Amino acid sequence: MINATKTSHNLIYFRPFKCPQPASRFLIQCNSVDTAISLWWEAGMLFSVFREIGLNEKETNLLLGKNPTLRSTSLDRIRARVLALQSVGINGFALYRLVIKCPSVLIAEEIDPVISFVRDDLEGKVEAAQLERLFITTEARFLLGFAQKVKLLLHHEVPQEKIAHVLNNANLNKAICCKTVEELERTIAFLKPYHGIEIIVRRPAILNYDLDSQLIPKIRFLEELSGGDANATGTVLRKLPAILSYSLEHMGSHVDFMKSYVGLDDREIFKIILVFPNVISASKERKLRPRIEFLKQCGLNSNDIFKFLTRAPLFVALSFEDNLAHKLGFLVKIGYEYRTKELAVALGAVTRTSCENMQKVIGLFLSYGLSCEDIFYMSKKHPQILQYNPGSLEEKMEYLTEEMGRDVSELLTFPAFLGYKLDDRIKHRYEVKKKTAGTGMSLNKLLSESADRFSTTEQPKSLVND
C-alpha cells in the first residue's frame, strides 16, 4: 500500500508505507536491555562483595582481570564460600589476605568438604591461620581425601582430644594433603614400634617428613647405634622427637666426634644419647670439644668421661659464661683445686642446680658455723649437698640441732643425712629409735639401715609377765 500527499503546487508526493515493527524484535530489545541491566547489577554486587572482604576497586579489577572465572561465577556461590570461610574463623584481614593470594579459594569445589569437616567433625578447632596456610600452599586437587586421612590418624589411636593439636602443629600440605592414604598408613605403621603415636602427638611435625628418604634412614641409624634395641630407640624419640629434625650427616658427625675425640664406642654413645638426646644438638666446636677438653685436663679418661656424661649430661648444654664459670668460682672458693678429678665430680653434681641456689646453700652452711673447708669436705663425701633446696636443708639442720640435740659438726661424718626426707625418714626413725636406744645413736646407723631391717628391730620387752 502507498500513501499519497498533495503539495501546494498540485504535485503528488508518494511516501512508502512503513509496516509496524514486529513484536518479537521489541521483545529482543527489551531482553537485551534487561540483560545489560542485570549484568551491570551483578557486577556492582560483585564489587560490593569484594569491598566487604576489604578489596578496593583497583584491587578488585586487578583480581577479576587475572581470574576471569570469578566474573562468570554465581554471586550466591561466592557469597556462600565467603560465609563458609568465616565459619571456620577466617575473617577480616586474614580473609582479605587469603583472597588476594589465592582467589581460587572462592570457587574451588574441593574446599567445601574440608571446611565442612573442620567445622562439623573437628568442631572448628583447627586454627584459622593453619587453614589459611593450607589453602594458600595447596593445590585444590590435593585437598581431596583430607577428611579420610585425618580419620586414619584417629583410627590409629591418635586421641580425639589431641587431633586438633596434631593438625595445628604439622604442615598440612606435606603431612596430610600431599601424602596418599597408603603413604600415611606406611608412615604410621613404621613408627608404631618406636612409640609412634605418642611421638606424633608430642611433635606433629614428624608427619611432615618423607618416610623413605628421611624417617627410615635416621631411625635406623639410631637403632643400629643402640645395638638393635627398638624400645630404647623409641625412648630416645619419645624424649626428643625433634632429634629427627637433624640431618643424618649431622647425627653421624656427632657420633664420629665422640668416637675419635673421646674414645667411646657405639654402646656408650647411645647410652649418653638415651640419657640426654640433646647432646646431638650441642655444637661440636663451641660446646662439646671445649667441655671434653676440660674433663681431660681434670684427669678423666674415656671411661670416666662416659660415666660423667651419663650422670651430668647438662654439662655439655649449659652456658659457660652464664652458668658453669660461676659454679667453678664457688667450688674453688670452698677449696677445690683446678684440673682435678674432685673438681670435675663436684661440677657435675651441681649442673642441675642454679648458681643462685648453690650460693644460698653455701651461705646456709656458713651461717651454721661450718667453714669453707668443712663444706669442701662434706661435698667430697656427698657431692649432692650443693644442689639441695636451701629451705629444706635449713629445716633438717634445725631439727638436727634443736630437736635431736646434735652438733652440726656431725654432718662432717655423715653429710648424707641432708639427703633424707625430714618427715618420712628422719623424724619417724628418730622418734622410734629414741624409745629403745636413747638419743645418742649414730646418724649413719639411724638412717642407712634398710626399711625391712628397721621394721624388724627388736622392740623393748614388756616389764609385765604375760
C-alpha cell at 10: 498540485
Could you tell me if residue 168 is inside a domain? no
Phi, psi angles (nearest 5°) of residue 14: -95, 125
Could you tell me if residue 101 is inside a domain? yes
Residues 321-332 pLDDT 10s: 999 999 999 999
Could you tell me if residue 47 is inside a domain? yes
Mean pLDDT for all residues in the chain: 89
What is the reported pLDDT for 431? Answer: 86
Number of domains in the chain: 1
Could you tell me if residue 272 is inside a domain? no
Could you tell me if residue 381 is inside a domain? no
Residues 292-304 pLDDT 10s: 999 999 999 999 9
- Answer yes or no: is pLDDT of 131 > 90: yes
* Alpha carbons 202 and 342: distance in angstroms, whole number: 39
What is the reported pLDDT for 196? Answer: 93
User: Which residues lie below 8 Å from residue 118, measured CB to CB, with a gap of 6+?
Assistant: 88, 124, 126, 131
Across 405-413, average pLDDT: 94
For residue 446, what pLDDT band results from cuts at 50, 70 and 90? confident
Could you tell me if residue 254 is inside a domain? no
For the chain, percent of residues with pLDDT exceeding 70? 86
Residues 254-287 pLDDT 10s: 999 999 999 999 999 999 999 999 999 999 999 9
Could you tell me if residue 31 is inside a domain? yes
* Alpha carbons 424 and 23: distance in angstroms, whole number: 107
Residues 208-266 pLDDT 10s: 999 999 999 999 999 999 999 999 999 999 999 999 999 999 999 999 999 999 999 99
- Answer yes or no: is pLDDT of 2 > 50: no
Distances (CA, A) of 57 to 46, 72, 119: 11, 18, 32
- Answer yes or no: is pLDDT of 17 > 90: no
What is the reported pLDDT for 440? Answer: 67
Query: DSSP labels for 56-73?
Result: -HHHHHHHHHH-GGGTTS
361: amino acid identity, one letter: V
For residue 4, what pLDDT band results from cuts at 50, 70 and 90? very low
Residues 137-168 pLDDT 10s: 999 999 999 999 999 999 999 999 999 999 99
For the chain, percent of residues with pLDDT exceeding 90? 80
- Answer yes or no: is pLDDT of 311 > 60: yes
User: Which residues lie below 8 Å from residue 190, measured CB to CB, with a gap of 6+?
Assistant: 196, 211, 215, 216, 219
State the DSSP H helix or E strand holding residue 2, giving kind and residue range, or none if neither: strand 2-6
How many other CB atoms are found less than 10 A from the CB of residue 307? 14
Residues 333-349 pLDDT 10s: 999 999 999 999 999 99
- Answer yes or no: is pLDDT of 291 > 80: yes
Can you state the percent helix, strand and coil of the chain, rounding each to 5?
Answer: 70, 0, 25
Contact 377, 411 (CB under 8 A): no
More confident site: 30 or 75: 75
On the 0-12 / 13-18 / 19+ scale of CB atoms within 10 A, 7 is exposed
Which long-range contacts (C-beta less than 8 Å, at least 24 apart) are formed by 455-460? Answer: 457/433, 460/435, 460/436
For residue 450, what pLDDT band results from cuts at 50, 70 and 90? confident
Residues 19-52 pLDDT 10s: 455 555 544 454 444 444 444 445 567 888 899 9
Across 437-453, average pLDDT: 75
What range defines the domain where residue 123 resides?
23-137
3-state SS record for 189-234:
HHHHHHCHHHHHHHCHHHHHCCHHHHHHHHHHHHHHHCCCCHHHHH
Could you tell me if residue 69 is inside a domain? yes
* Alpha carbons 131 and 122: distance in angstroms, whole number: 13
* Alpha carbons 57 and 79: distance in angstroms, whole number: 18
How many other CB atoms are found less than 10 A from the CB of residue 215? 20
* Alpha carbons 226 and 270: distance in angstroms, whole number: 6
pTM recorded for the entire structure = 0.79
